[in-house]
Amino acid sequence: MRHAAALAVTLLATTTISATAQEWTYTGGDGETVTLDAAPVRIIAHQDAAAGLIPLGIRPVGIYADSPVAEAKALEGLDLSGIEIIGQAWSEVDIEKAAALEPDLIIGEWWDRNEAWSGGADLTALIGQIAPVTGVAASDSIVGMIEDYEALAESLGADLSDPAIAADKAEFEAARTAFSAAVAAKPDLTALAVYAGDDALYVADPKGAAELLDLQSWGLNLISPEGVDATGNNYFETLSWENADKYPADLILVDNRSASTLTTALAQPTWTLNPGAAAEQVADWPAYWVRNSAAFAGALEKLTAAVEAADPSVAP
């Protein structure tokens, strides 16, 4: 995946006889450059982009989410007052509401594995008729993505010296240090990240999830599946529930974008074929939604507690 840290944000000043205009340019995760006459003020953002920008002081006029906003993990705990919600399902937007907001810019995230912006190509083609679409890339590190959101936010006028931002970053650094120490204390602990569906168990490929790559880089021994699906869902290997023990692990991390995912797993008779599940060593995987320091700190604190409580010898 293209690392989002390679994104370029440049402010260029141009002078005319009558006035000075400040041109704004940004090269997004897709490699395309957007140029506007001035820094955009009225922004519509996908839920994940909003989660990256709001804590930095950039408040969009509209948000489109992949699910009902009350269930969107990325937006949990954020102040959304005064922001118009223009979509609450994957790839769906109320285009009339979007147009009425008169946005200067639409910010999503570029996903290399899908070669598409948040919400998919059809949605991007639709909303792209209203305003240019750009944003950071879903890269190989949440830490890197947070840095990219900081660069984008600063270009949009954010004050990154705000004490609240510094406090969030300090909280994250403390959580990262504690997680690394917990993992180092249990070098034999193995972990497996999964999504549980009624039809199958989906084993995550860490290379497709920035937060999993961060956890690996900090010492967590995450199991990689032998291969992801060749078509369709290319972030997971699909296993029939009869093969839930294909990758035995000490600790099972379950996609927590919806509470129903764990409920689905627990309802499967073969869930406990995996030794980590049988030992009830199960924790939340903050799957694909973490976009700011405070959220990552909270997720890491929960994962640290799970690592500290886990027996690293339940899996063969």
pLDDT tens by residue, 245-295? 999 999 999 999 999 999 999 999 999 999 999 999 999 999 999 999 999
pLDDT score at 270:
98
Number of residues that this document lists for the chain:
316
- CATH architecture assigned to 4-158: 3-Layer(aba) Sandwich (3.40)
pLDDT at 8 over 90: no
pLDDT score at 234:
82
pLDDT at 16 over 80: no
Q: Mean pLDDT across the chain, nearest whole number? A: 93
| Choice between 131 and 16, residue whose per-residue pLDDT is larger | 131
pLDDT tens by residue, 296-306? 999 999 999 99
Of 57, 97, 282, 297, nearest in space to 177 by CA:
297
pLDDT score at 231:
55
Helix residue spans in the chain (DSSP H): 47-53, 95-100, 121-127, 142-155, 163-184, 210-217, 260-266, 275-278, 293-309
Sorted by where each begins, the domain ranges of the chain are 4-158, 164-309
Same fold for the pair 4-158 and 164-309: yes
3-state class (DSSP) for residue 134:
strand
Of 217, 132, 184, 179, nearest in space to 297 by CA:
179
pLDDT at 7 over 60: no
pLDDT tens by residue, 54-103? 999 999 999 999 999 999 999 999 999 999 999 999 999 999 999 999 99
Region 13-27 average pLDDT: 60
Region 128-150 average pLDDT: 97
- Please, which pLDDT band fits residue 113 given cuts at 50, 70 and 90? confident
**In CATH terms, is domain 164-309 a member of 3.40.50.300?**
no
Of 48, 82, 84, 52, nearest in space to 67 by CA:
48
